[in-house]
Amino acid sequence: MSDTPYISWLCHGAVSLAPPAVFTGAKANLFAIDASTAAIQSLADALLNPAAGTVVHYEAVAPVAIFTFMDIAKCTSATDVVGWLPGRECAIWVPLIEIHPGFPFRKRVVFWAPYIFIDYTIGMVTGREVWGWPKVASRIVVASDTPGKPVFSCTTTFFRTMKSDTQGEHAELYRIAQVEVATESFPQWLDGENATQALIGGLLDRLSADVLGTLGRCPQIPSVVLKQFRAADAPQSACFQAIVDSPVEVTAFNGGGPLLDKFTLDITTCESHGIVSDLLGRPPDRCSTTLPVRFAAWLALDFRALLGNNIASARLEF
């Protein structure tokens, strides 16, 4: 913890607000696809484990990736009184197991999002500066925008090739669409505990019982993120780098259940966002890659993004 007071920009156009962050009236959709454990491990070894040092290590534990879309009625800070905004976010999550060398009983399942997108400035800046989430501005479409045939999509800036003469595009990066309507009705989950067990079974059914037990004992949803800032005088170096514990606490369960319709995921092929190779460990198809969704669900909830904690922090001197 730093002893240096934070200089607040409140009443001067502040866009980075103090946690906890409070989210009310959220509607979330989750879509799981089959992935490659080896590919996810390579991704964690490139983007997360280098900041861990000898303190902690993250291992991929399941061949699954989870695409989430969230439409939130009210987003605000519980500390800085500024008002509220609606907001949308979408992200790609993978489950990891957190290992503390020398402390075998400290293992736990955590969630990590190497890709995360958002449509409002305060949420993007606060998420990056406070916890370190790599949030990027985007336009997000959810089912309520396309009545009759549910579509979920993320439009953002990407580069089809990574070359000096490539012009960036602001276009659809990925989309999940309904391709077949279920013939049976959707069962509803009765309460938060029922929803949690159903989600663990649907999303993480390939994990062993002892590993799942570490998740079931957690009162919050555990997630981790790499927080770093580039040094101004040495752009290939970081002036701050840490792995941050960024827990989420569900404060109200307002409904939910599985989606029995069939959905497919389409990912645009571009070199700036290697989603297919990151998750599947293979090159993408020529223009776009289409993948089946193996599990889908919806949730209505209120939640809080809680204070974070530095799990591993590098001592950087310049």
* Any domain includes 12: no
SS3 46: helix
Q: What pLDDT score does 187 carry? A: 85
Of 198, 215, 174, give the one whose Cα is nearest residue 69. 174
Question: Which neighbouring-strand residues pair with 296?
Answer: 31
* Any domain includes 193: yes
Q: What pLDDT score does 214 carry? A: 61
* Any domain includes 6: no
pLDDT tens for the chain, residues 1 to 318? 667 899 999 999 999 999 999 999 999 999 999 999 999 999 999 999 999 988 999 999 999 999 999 999 999 999 999 999 999 999 999 999 999 998 877 889 999 999 999 999 999 999 999 999 999 999 999 999 998 889 999 999 999 999 999 999 999 999 999 999 998 887 899 888 888 888 888 888 766 565 666 665 556 899 999 999 999 999 999 999 999 999 999 999 999 999 999 999 999 999 999 999 999 999 999 999 999 999 999 999 999 999 999 999 875 554
Of 168, 87, 78, give the one whose Cα is nearest residue 121. 87
Cis peptide before 20 (omega within 30 of 0): yes
* Any domain includes 1: no
What is the tally of structural domains in the chain?
A: 1
Give yes or no for a contact between 111 and 223, defined as CB atoms under 8 angstroms apart: yes
* Any domain includes 4: no
* CA 311 to each of CA 106, 173, 223, 243, 314: distance values in angstroms, whole numbers, following the listed order: 12, 32, 11, 6, 10
Give the domain extent around 54: 21-309
* Any domain includes 318: no
* Any domain includes 294: yes
Residue 190 in tokens: 């009765």
Q: What CATH number does the domain containing 129 carry?
A: 2.40.400.10
Residue 170 in tokens: 């602001």
Q: What pLDDT score does 306 carry? A: 97
In this prediction the pTM is 0.94
Half-sphere exposure of 106 (CA within 13 A, CB side): 11
CB under 8 Å to 248, separation ≥6 — which residues? 220, 221, 223, 303, 304, 305, 306
Q: What pLDDT score does 318 carry? A: 43
* Any domain includes 241: yes
